Structure 1
Amino acid sequence: MSEPPSKKRTRRTPPASGKSADGPADASLSSPLGEEAPPAAAPLPGAQAGNGDPAEPALTRERLRLCMEAAQLGTWDWPLAAGRIHWSENIASLLGGVPGGPGDTYEAFLQRVLAEDRSRFAQQVAAALEKPSAFDAEFRVYVPEGAPRWMHARARVLAENGRAVRMLGVLRDITLEKKAEEESRRATDFQEQLLGIVSHDIRSPLGAIISWARIMAVGGPPPEEQQRTFRRITSAALRIERLTRLLLDFARAQLGGGIILEPRRADMHELLQQVSHQFRVAYADRSLVCEKEGEDTGGMWDPDRLAQVVSNLLENALKYSPPDTPVRLTARARKEHVVLEVHNQGKPVPPELMPQLFEPFRSGPQASRTAKTSYGLGLYIVREIVRAHGGTIEVRSGIEEGTTFTVSLPRLPPVAAELMRRPAPVGPKKP
């Protein structure tokens, strides 16, 4: 058989006008109706014509990263079959730079949750996986430095045929919000406590002063009762004065002003003798013993503020000790510090109260039905004054040894050293 004749191939050359026989060579320059299209807009800087903007995905990711950082957000993706959790890039900084990150398994992350919150959080996760659903949870996580951080987790469980297959979630740092809530709650509590202080702790001794003043105005009590009346008036007036000062100092400390000091040369043993002498007027039936160990018990302190420290600790010791036992005040000289000790016998401080003993509005053990601690403001102000001097305060309490508050003060506190480094003011030049 002869082969069929081959078809002759022809080569078509585009016309010089740039158009082929079938239409325009560049379809982008014409409209579907055959009309010439308007010229294309100039590309954005960095873009390539005809291919869109290659930088757009990177810009989108950067915008998303910026939003997540500003909102303190992190995300996770947990495919249950794979068992590995995929975290967003910023999760390490969100969790305070936890060494090793949050872990790529659920069990590893669960160990980052504070022990007190772990069980509750695990139950919420288990419930959401058993019956696929969304959930919100608040919990604290450990961080390498500082207090634990509060986190708010919002998660959604994806399911197939009613069975959980994936969990997607968002993690947000709400530490500042929790702090604001706590400060608001404390402010509300303070307002309520302030009403109680004014209505009872100030109004009651003020009423006693007014009553005894009226008795004095009409001739006074019998001679044998006059000294007792004077002591009662003095005690009530001192109570109002001390409580008023505590409230002012507490308000200043809460508003961020701190305790203001005016350091000058002072002697701790002399200060103990002065304060105890004042208390002997109001507590004439109590035994107050002042002791000294070492020669030099002086330093650069604010003696008025330290008098507050001694007064508050002494009043506390008198209230919580049997009336037939002495209260001892001791000044001990050390090389670079001076130590103050206030000791009393009586019931020990309960161990559960020790961690919060110096917090405001924390009541101590009541020695009697009428004994008060000014809602815990006294010990709180004591701690703040000691800290302002660069010192420390500790308490030991037991059945046999009694209760001892120990204050250690540097002879030259940082605030006094700073004042000494300042140049002396220059007065006006004489003509």
Structure 2
Amino acid sequence: MASSWYPGPELAWQLHAGCPDACILFESVRDDTGTLLDFQWTAFNPAAEPFVEGQGRALSAWRGVEGLPERGILGGVVEGGTPLTFELHGQVAGAERWFRARAVKQGDGFALWLSDITESHAQLRSLREELERERAARAREEHLRLALETARMVTWEWSSARRTLLWSSNADVFFGWPLGSVADTPERFLDGVLPEERSLVAEALEQGLRAEGPYTFQFRGRWADGTVRCYEVVGQTLREEGQPMRMLGVVMDCTERARAQAALREAEERYRLASWATNDLLWDWNPSTGHIHWGEASHTVLGYLPEEMGGIHWWTEQVHPDDREMVLRNLEHAVESGGDSWVGEYRFRRKDGTYAHVLDRGLLARDAKGHTVRMIGSIMDITERRRAVERMEEEARFRERFIGILGHDLRNPLNAITLSARALLRRGLSPPYQQLAQRIETSAARMGNMISDILDLTRVRLSGGIPLNLAPTSLPLVCQQVVEELTVAYPERGIVLESEGEGEGIWDPERLAQVVSNLVSNALEHGTNEGPIFVRCTGDVQRQVLEISNPGAPIPSHQLATLFDPFRQVGVMRSGRGSGLGLGLFIVRELVEAHGGQVTVRSDENNGTTFKVLLPRDARQSARVRSQAAGAEHTA
């Protein structure tokens, strides 16, 4: 390609034949208005010939050249005169080359100087790649360090040539070594192992040298502060021509895992011992899968081996058909209601086909949303206990029925004795015989009171309460009648009746008279003769209050809690009268509660003893509730 170039004086010195840089002159291509359209080359020196060859004259038509500035930027060089430096890359003479380019204003165009920097560019690129590899290596090392710290492990390497141990950078922190005191030999490493395990670790390392694949072992080490940690070693030996050359691997801190495993073993042992000691069948149910893990006591309790017992559907089939619906309904309610426990009593089929009465109890574990994820419990065979309770209940019912029948049948001969004594008294007997007849009548009355108390006790035990005949009743009037009767029986004692208000209500007058009589008789029998007995009737619109007070020594505090229990007596009776069975206060409580009321007692040295009875104005509501409860119990 021929070219002619007539440069100005300022470029002549650079364009001699020996100039190493390529130079191409470009002139502006403009339209009639002077607007810059493009550039085209006009001349070039010999060094630029390979670069220009194959390219068109117009700069915009050049191909395979990367890095050319836009036309406007090159126009700025022409207009402003400020040189522009940039880098070009392209194929020159069939080879990929890099150039440092500099555009310098030249008339109405510019001179493009090209310096070949391919070699230096390659060196720079190689340097950059090396730096990038180093950065990547450092990043991998940092990632490895973080991973090792997170996983609580370190890496190690031993070579037969060096006879030294190399550790990852976190080894001193990992083993609790002082900074800079890394154990760089197997001997120094063994110093940190517990003395009783050093020989085992040394033997494990020797076996690792001979192992064909990965090997592992555990040991315990002591930190500088005295803390003992558990470690697990995983390593592998690399060989050359059959000889061990290197050993490398990782050491993991398994202290927490070892503790968890020990705790798990202890829990499993406690679980096994608890199952063995209580003879209960322990179970673990997963509601999501329906699987049930059965304990070892399954054979003892129900006759099944654990592997013979199935999941929730199998368990459902073994529940007695008459109990199944109730048991499943209660279990479903416990699971869905958000509760944390479940208790069921039902019959369960043993392996031999018979049914055992069992008590089943479970605790529910829930997730954050309240869904049941696990349920653990135990099954207790209560067949024998249930039979024993049934026998005891039957014996108790027999005894109470016997007492009731005996008390009822004793009334006929007792009435005969009473009537005969009264007939003798009316005949005007001599004083000695009249005294005997009076004693017979008094004893018969006492026996009648005993029989009444026995019958009331029997009614309470058998029918759930003493029946009431409710009617409009005046409590003060009932108290007055009782006080008059007892004044005749105890002429030497003073009984003071105080009444305030109407004192009317819906009660059983006969039973209220029994309450007042028992309480006043109790005061007469246990109180002193030093002061009167007070009977007070007060109240308001909603309730009536009855208080019976007597002076005397207080009731011992330890006896107050059981004072109203049957067959309880406090102290020695002063009069020698009364039933003597200890049923009086028990019957008082039953009668008051049958009316929907409450009876309490307070006793101290200064004020003596006071029984306080609170009665609602209308006892019909309480009577209906007790009747319904008794009916439900009888139905059950």
Q: TM-score, normalised by structure 2?
A: 0.36
Distance 1:240 1:169 in 2: 54
Partner of 1:289: 496
Asked if 1:62 is matched to 2:309, the reply is no
Partner of 1:392: 598
Contact 1:363-1:373 within 8 A present in 2 as well: no
1:316 maps to: 522
Q: 1:395, CA displacement in angstroms?
A: 1.1
- Deviation by residue 1:254-297 (Cα, 9 ceiling, x = unmatched): 211522212111111111110111112221211111111x3211
CA distances 1:36-80 after superposition (whole Å, capped 9, x unpaired)? xxxxxxxxxxxxxxxxxxxx966423224669977x99xxxxxxx
User: How many Å apart are 1:408 and its aligned residue?
Assistant: 0.7
> Matched residues in 2 for 1:179 and 1:267: separation?
45
For residues 110-155 of structure 1, what are the alpha-carbon distances to aligned partners after superposition, in whole Å with 9 as ceiling and x for unaligned? xxxxxxxxxxxxxxxxxxxxxxxxxxxxxxxxxxxxxxxx9899xx
Find 1:383's aligned residue among 584, 589, 594.
589
Q: Could you tell me which residue of structure 2 aligns to residue 331 of structure 1?
A: 537
- Counterpart secondary structure, 2:559: helix
Q: Could you say which residue in structure 1 is the equivalent of 2:450? A: 243
In the alignment, the residues of structure 2 paired with residue 393 and residue 69 of structure 1 have an alpha-carbon distance, to the nearest angstrom, of 42
Q: What amino acid does structure 2 have at the position aligned with 1:251?
A: T
Q: Whole-Å Cα distance in 1 between the matches of residues 599 and 490 of structure 2?
A: 26
| Residue matched to 1:364 | 570
Cα distance between partner residues in 1 of 2:379 and 2:316: 18
Q: 1:316 to 1:99 in 2, by over 3 A?
A: farther
Give 1:329 deviation, angstroms: 1.1
Change in CA separation of 1:240 and 1:402 when aligned onto 2, cut-off 3 Å: same
Using the TM superposition, give the Cα deviation of residue 347 of structure 1 relative to its aligned residue in structure 2, in angstroms.
2.8
Cα contact 2:471–2:508 (8 A) shared by 1: yes
2:469 to 262, 282, 286: 262
Contact 1:263/1:416, CA 8 A, preserved across alignment: no
Moved more, 361-370 or 395-404: 361-370
Q: Secondary structure at the match of 1:376?
A: coil
Deviates more, 1:344-353 or 1:313-322: 344-353
Partners of 1:242 and 1:290 lie apart in 2 by 24
Aligned to 1:22: none
Q: Highest relative contact order (Cα 8 Å, sep 6+), 1 or 2? A: 1
The residue correspondences of 1:174-189 to structure 2 (distance < 5 A) are 180=390, 183=393, 186=396
Match of 1:410 among 616, 620, 632: 616
Of 211, 215, 220, the match for 2:429 = 220
Give the Cα–Cα distance (whole angstroms) in 2 for the partners of residues 218 and 210 of structure 1.
Answer: 13
Report how far residue 321 of structure 1 moved: 1.3
Number of the residue aligned with 2:133: none
Distance 2:559 2:402 in 1: 22
CA gap of 1:275–1:398, structure 2 versus 1, over 3 A, is same
CA drift at 1:182:
5.6
Q: How does 1:103-252 map to 2 (within 5 A)?
A: 170-172=379-381, 180=390, 183=393, 186=396, 216=425, 220-222=429-431, 232=439, 235-252=442-459
Judged with a 3 Å threshold, the aligned counterparts in structure 2 of structure 1 residues 391 and 218 are, in CA distance, closer, same or farther, namely closer
Q: Is the 8 A contact 2:498 2:537 kept in 1?
A: yes
**What is the TM-score with the length of structure 1 in the denominator?**
0.51
* 3-state SS in 2 of match to 1:241: helix
TM-superposed CA distance for 1:355, in Å, is 2.3
Tell me if the contact between 2:403 and 2:458 (Cα under 8 Å) persists in the aligned partners.
Answer: no
Please state whether the residue corresponding to 1:323 is helix, strand or coil. coil
Say if 1:321 and 1:234 are closer, same or farther in 2 by CA, change over 3 A.
farther
SS of match in other structure, 1:353 = helix
Name the CA distance, whole Å, in 1 between partners of 2:477 and 2:386. 46
1:186 CA displacement? 4.6
- SS of 2:610's partner is strand
Task: Write out aligned runs for 1:334-349 (5 A).
Answer: 334-349=540-555
**Pair 1:353 & 2:559 matched:** yes
Query: Where is the strand percentage greater, Structure 1 or Structure 2?
Result: 2
Q: Distance in 1 between matches of 2:529 and 2:436?
A: 20
Please give the alpha-carbon distance, in whole angstroms, between the structure 2 residues aligned to 1:173 and 1:151. 7
| Equivalent residue runs for 1:265-280 within 5 Å | 265-280=472-487
Answer yes or no: is the 8 Å Cα contact 2:496–2:534 preserved in 1: yes
Does residue 494 of structure 2 align to residue 300 of structure 1?
no
Three-state SS of the structure 1 residue aligned to 2:316 is: helix
Q: Aligned with 2:561: secondary structure?
A: helix
Larger Rg: 2
**1:236 offset after TM fit, Å?**
3.2
Give the Å deviation of 1:394.
0.8
User: How large is the RMSD of aligned CA atoms in angstroms?
Assistant: 5.0
Quick check: 2:473–2:509 contact (8 Å CA) kept in 1?
yes
The total of aligned residue pairs comes to 283
State the SS of the aligned residue for 1:300: strand
Structure 1: gaps (5+ residues): 1-55, 74-88, 103-149, 154-167, 420-431
Provide the identity percentage: 29
Q: State the alpha-carbon separation in 2 of the partners of residues 353 and 197 from structure 1.
A: 29
In the alignment, the residues of structure 2 paired with residue 268 and residue 302 of structure 1 have an alpha-carbon distance, to the nearest angstrom, of: 10
Contact kept, 8 Å, 1:344 with 1:402, in 2: the verdict is: yes
